[in-house]
Structure 1
Amino acid sequence: MGLPVIDSYPMPDRSALPASSPSWTIDPARAALLVHDMQNHYVQAFPAGSSPVVELIDNITTLRELAGTLGMPVVFSAEPVPEPDAASIVPQLTPRAGEHLLVNVRHNAFLRSHLGRLLRSTGRDQLILCGVRAHLGILLTAADAFMHDIQPFVVADAVADFSAEDHSMALRWIARTGVVCTTNQLLRELLHSRAAHDTSATVRPVHEQRRPG
Structure 2
Amino acid sequence: MSAKKLPAISPYAMPGEEPRNRVDWRPDPARTVLLIHDMQNYFMASFPRRDSPTTQLLGNIAMLRTDGVAIGIPIVYTAQPGAQAAPDRTLLTDFWGPGRTTACEAFMRDIQAFVVADAVADFGPDEHRQALHWIAG
Could you state the TM-score of these two structures normalised by the residue count of structure 2? 0.86
* Larger relative contact order, structure 1 or 2 (CA cutoff 8 Å, min sep 6): 2
Distance 2:89 2:73 in 1: 25
Q: Does 1:9 align with 2:7?
A: no
Distance 2:49 2:90 in 1: 23
Q: Unpaired runs of 5+ in structure 2?
A: none
Q: Does 1:167 align with 2:123?
A: no
1:10-159 to 2 correspondences below 5 Å: 10-13=13-16, 16-82=17-83, 106=89, 136-159=97-120
Distance 2:69 2:110 in 1: 24
More strand by percentage: 1
Amino acid of the structure 1 residue aligned with 2:132: L
Deviant stretches of 4+, over 6 Å: none
Amino acid of the structure 2 residue aligned with 1:154: V
Residues 161, 79 of structure 1: CA spacing in aligned structure 2 closer, same or farther, 3 A cutoff?
A: same
Task: Count residues in correspondence.
Answer: 126
Match of 1:62, SS state, is helix
Given that 1:79 and 1:106 are in contact with CA atoms closer than 8 Å, whether structure 2 keeps it comes out as no
Q: Unpaired runs of 5+ in structure 1?
A: 83-104, 109-134, 177-213
1:174-193 to 2 correspondences below 5 Å: 174-176=135-137
Given that 2:19 and 2:132 are in contact with CA atoms closer than 8 Å, whether structure 1 keeps it comes out as yes
- Structure index of larger Rg: 1
Could you state the TM-score of these two structures normalised by the residue count of structure 1? 0.56
Amino acid of the structure 2 residue aligned with 1:8: P
Residues 107, 49 of structure 1: CA spacing in aligned structure 2 closer, same or farther, 3 A cutoff?
A: farther
Distance 1:146 1:67 in 2: 22
Residues 137, 161 of structure 1: CA spacing in aligned structure 2 closer, same or farther, 3 A cutoff?
A: closer
Distance 1:107 1:171 in 2: 23
Q: Taking every aligned residue pair, what percent have the same amino acid on both sides?
A: 46
C-alpha RMSD of the superposition: 1.8
Distance 1:77 1:9 in 2: 25
